[in-house]
Amino acid sequence: MPKISPAPADPAAPANLSSLRTQSFPLKAHNHGKAKVRVMKVVRSAEKHFAYEYSVDTTLFSPEYEKVFTAEDNSGLVATDTQKNTVYVIAKRTEANSPEQFGIDLCKHFISEYPVLTAAQAEVRMTLWERAVVDGEEHEHGWIKQSPEQAVAVVKLVREGEVFSVRSFVKGMTIFKSTQSGFADYHMDKYTLLPPCTERCLSTELTAEWGYTDIAGVDFADARAGVRAQLIKGIFGPAKGGVFSVSLQATIYDAGCLVLTEVACVSEIKIDTPNKHYLPYRQLEALGEVFEDDIFVPTDEPSGTITCTVARE
Ligand SMILES: O=c1[nH]c(=O)c2[nH]c(=O)[nH]c2[nH]1
């Protein structure tokens, strides 16, 4: 058996480490944080309650923390458990009534509390609880989950220059349109099987991501409500009659333009709509029934991937 001799120890490595490595390489990137910190905040006002539920990922950045990875030195490290506790404390101390504002307040806290940090990030995902309606009246403390849609914000605060970045998201908005959609005039060749149609169902699980021209003075909940309303209008059209979609592409571009027209603080919006096909169940005919654009097979996979970004400039 040939004898394998160990590689020589790295002369630059600090002494007395318990590490197994015999050679050190550059640490190119690092950060640490806590994922999926779940918190529910209930605001009990005299007439009615408000419920805000979040799942939060925190991430802290500091070049000084290189030593934690490379030199087994934990001094000055803000533990991820501390970050978790902070989520609850900031939920208690602030209004936390939108994912954006909660994220901003969390990042501000981390940066002002810990001079060692160069930047802090919070991804805040809000569960949408809808106030229950009983006998036509909004309930004061009863809620129903609008699953699976979430309101999401990713906020980053960089200490140098106090630069904030706020990105807002709608995730999992699940949409179904039972008419006013078709798809025709596309390229046909020997690989094409899809028949053109002027009547089909349109369905998607929409993700939208947008930024702001300037976050100063923005009411984030208000802006989100505006974006959501315009997306819904762009896709469905007026309640009576709707609007015809010649493709998901044309429809989401339209919706993006409506958002930029109606919500002044939004700088640009990316809309991502996997096309979830509802396939006409034509085998009905073989079973002695008539297909009248009424019986479909819902499918998730494969889905079309239709995405666009619309910006002011
Ligand atoms: O709205 C659509 N856009 C497409 O690009 C496409 N491709 C496809 O097969 N069906 C559809 N529908």
DSSP 58-103: EEEE-GGGHHHHHS---TT---HHHHHHHHHHHHHHS---SHHHHH
Question: Measured at the alpha carbon of residue 180, what is the angle toward residues 175 and 185, in degrees to the nearest 5?
Answer: 110
The answer to whether residue 6 sits within a structural domain is no
Q: Is the CB of 247 under 6 A from ligand 1?
A: yes
Residue with tokens 């706020």: 166
Evaluate if residue 289 carries a pLDDT over 60: yes
Overall residue count recorded for the chain in this entry: 313
Nearest in space to 124 (alpha carbons), one of 205, 210, 38, 211: 38
Evaluate if residue 9 carries a pLDDT over 70: no
Same domain for 202 and 101? no
What is the domain extent for residue 188? 172-313
Q: Is the CB of 252 under 6 A from ligand 1?
A: no
Angle between helices 99-113 and 80-93 (to 10 degrees): 120
Q: Residue 248 CA: which ligand 1 atom is closest?
A: 1
Same domain for 58 and 96? yes
Kindly state the helix (H) or strand (E) to which residue 108 belongs, with its residue range: helix 99-113
Average pLDDT in the chain:
94
- What is the CATH number for 60? 3.10.270.10
Q: Is the CB of 275 under 6 A from ligand 1?
A: yes
Q: Residue 194 CA: which ligand 1 atom is closest?
A: 9
Q: Is the CB of 303 under 6 A from ligand 1?
A: no
CA distance 51 to 59: 25
pLDDT (tens digit, 9 = 90+) per residue, 38-75? Answer: 999 999 999 999 999 999 999 999 999 999 999 999 99
Question: Which of 175, 177, 181, 183 for mutating ligand 1's site (highest number of atoms within 8 Å of CB)?
Answer: 183
Interface ipTM: 0.98
pLDDT (tens digit, 9 = 90+) per residue, 148-199? Answer: 999 999 999 999 999 999 999 999 999 999 999 999 999 999 999 999 999 9
Quote the tokens at residue 122: 């919070």
The answer to whether residue 86 sits within a structural domain is yes
Same domain for 143 and 201? no
The 8-class DSSP code of residue 148 comes to E
| Confidence at residue 7, expressed as pLDDT on a 0 to 100 scale | 45
Same domain for 246 and 312? yes
Evaluate if residue 77 carries a pLDDT over 60: yes
Instruction: Say which range, 10-19, 213-222, 253-262, has the weakest mean pLDDT.
Output: 10-19
- The answer to whether the beta carbons of residues 137 and 116 sit under 8 Å apart is no
Kindly give the distance from the C-alpha atom of residue 245 to the centroid of ligand 1, in angstroms, as a whole number. Answer: 11
Kindly give the distance from the C-alpha atom of residue 292 to the centroid of ligand 1, in angstroms, as a whole number. Answer: 22
Evaluate if residue 4 carries a pLDDT over 60: no
Residues labelled catalytic: 34, 80, 277
Kindly give the distance from the C-alpha atom of residue 230 to the centroid of ligand 1, in angstroms, as a whole number. Answer: 22
| Confidence at residue 300, expressed as pLDDT on a 0 to 100 scale | 86
CA distances 232 to 142, 210, 226, 258, 305, Å, are 26, 16, 10, 10, 19
pLDDT (tens digit, 9 = 90+) per residue, 107-118? Answer: 999 999 999 999
Evaluate if residue 6 carries a pLDDT over 50: no
Q: Which of 13-17, 99-103, 299-303 has the highest mean pLDDT?
A: 99-103
Kindly give the distance from the C-alpha atom of residue 310 to the centroid of ligand 1, in angstroms, as a whole number. Answer: 20
